Amino acid sequence: MSCGSSSRHRQQLMQEMIDDVRPPPPPPTSTTTIRSVLKQSNEPIKTKRPVKNSINNGKPDKLADLLNLEEAESDAETTKKVQALEGLKRLVKELQMEKEENKRAAASRVRLLTKDDPESRVTLAMLGTIPPLVAMLDFEDSNSQIAALYALLNLGIGNDQNKAAIVKAGAVHKMLKLIESLNEPSQAVSDAIVANFLGLSALDSNKPIIGSSGAIPFLVKTLKILDKQSGCQARHDALRALYNLSISPSNIPFIMESDLIPFLVNALGDMDVSERILSILSNVVSTPEGRKGISIAPEAFPILVDVLNWTDSPRCQEKASYILMVMAHKAYRDRQAMIEAGIVSSLLELTLLGSMLAQKRASRILEVLRVDKGKQVSGNLGGNTSAAVSAPIYGSSANQYGKDCLVEEGMMSEEKKAVKLLVQQSLQNNMKRIVNRANLPQDFVPSEHLKSLTASSTSKSLPF
């Protein structure tokens, strides 16, 4: 009986039960019409079924019929599940056969069954599917390797127990063995291995195992080979796998040894992968080795400062500002490199135009630079708070301009002097850019009007 017919049968029984418990219609009155009498006479006479004695207080046996129907459907569903289980058992037996063709066909079947069915992933893993699939990675036939790799990949989707079981069965070692063999694997096999490293590295307990196994150099090599191929899925899988592995601090030394940081820094600007790269650098910067690796990467600070100006990518701004904030808190040398890269003007702009999180982080960096500059000024002046502090202005009139500010700046606190100095330097850096863009002479001297503008700038314009 089909599902539709059984449902209609159940509804019919329920309706008949309701009709049985309704009170009988009243006898016809004198107002009964001829039409109603004819209608009643034309209807067939219904014979009542015998009522079985039961404990249901005299209810008709239609309730028992309904329960029997549900029981029959339950039995049919149970039979169907048993048959499906027997089919999975036969599939596992085929994986354990000696013929490679049978195993390859069974692995392809496992791949299809586990693609969108979480219950099949659990059942097949319990029946012992994982060990024979891992053993298939030793085959020389690339088609068998691909079938086994994608079957393992689908078994691990959304199932942490299967991910742990796959690693425990030795899949990571066998995949690396394929990579390091004399006969390099095909691109299809390589892509399948990258996808498996991505899936397996999502489990925290697998991260240290995969990171220390030698998978990171392979992922970095794959990333470099596929560089600039924006539509390549393996490139994105490699980046995501490296991100997963970078979450574990124990993997940072392996990442540093692979020379990944300079490559990632230089790849910033490719909007297809920049956010993922900044996510990796955000994990790397959490360790001293990672911060050192970023600071010594060529042009790292100018590139990261440039990211702060990507007003159309707030998430990239937030991640770049986080990296710079952590590094600014940890090392004086890095703070100096940031200032030389022109970070102050970018931060001031970010505090006005960036997202709420980017504004907060930019303000934190400015605060660190302000305190650092205040200590430097205080040390140079020997603690004399009444001494003058003036911004370096182009031209021979700089000294005279500093003397004109003695009275005003002598009344300022050291912190306000440092903030004013930062603002003036920012304005002068912007002036440099304007001069360069306008192809003006390099000995161009700002006008007296510009000097008055920079002189009148105070910390009141800053968001803290």
Give a yes or no: residue 157 inside a domain. Answer: yes
- DSSP state, 428? H
Q: Which of 276, 264, 355, 369 is nearest to 324 (CA)?
A: 369
Pick 95 or 57 by higher pLDDT: 95
Q: What is the CATH number of the domain that holds 100?
A: 1.25.10.10
Q: What domain range is 130 assigned to?
A: 82-169
Counted domains in the chain? 1
* pLDDT digits 0-9 by tens, 212-237: 999 999 999 999 988 777 668 999 99
Would you say residue 91 lies in a domain?
Answer: yes
Spell out the residues 6+ positions from residue 116 whose beta carbon is closer than 8 angstroms to its own: none
Band of the pLDDT at 448, cuts 50, 70, 90? very low
Q: What is the pLDDT of residues 168-214, one digit of tens each?
A: 999 999 999 999 886 778 889 999 999 999 999 999 999 999 999 99
Is 395 part of a structural domain of the chain?
Answer: no
DSSP state of 56: S
pLDDT digits (tens, 9 = 90+) for 413-446: 555 565 566 666 666 665 565 545 455 454 444 4
Residue 102, in any domain of the structure: yes
Q: How many residues does the chain have?
A: 464
Average pLDDT, the chain: 77
| CA count, 13 A, side-chain hemisphere, 256 | 19
Does 247 map to a domain?
no
The pLDDT confidence band at residue 390, using thresholds 50, 70 and 90, is very low
| Structural domain contains residue 135 | yes
The radius of gyration of the chain from alpha carbons, rounded to an integer in Å, stands at 38
Q: Is residue 251 part of a domain?
A: no
Residues 43, 36: Cα–Cα separation, whole Å:
11
Structure tokens at 291: 């911060």
Tokens of 261: 């940081």
Q: Indicate whether 153 belongs to any domain.
A: yes
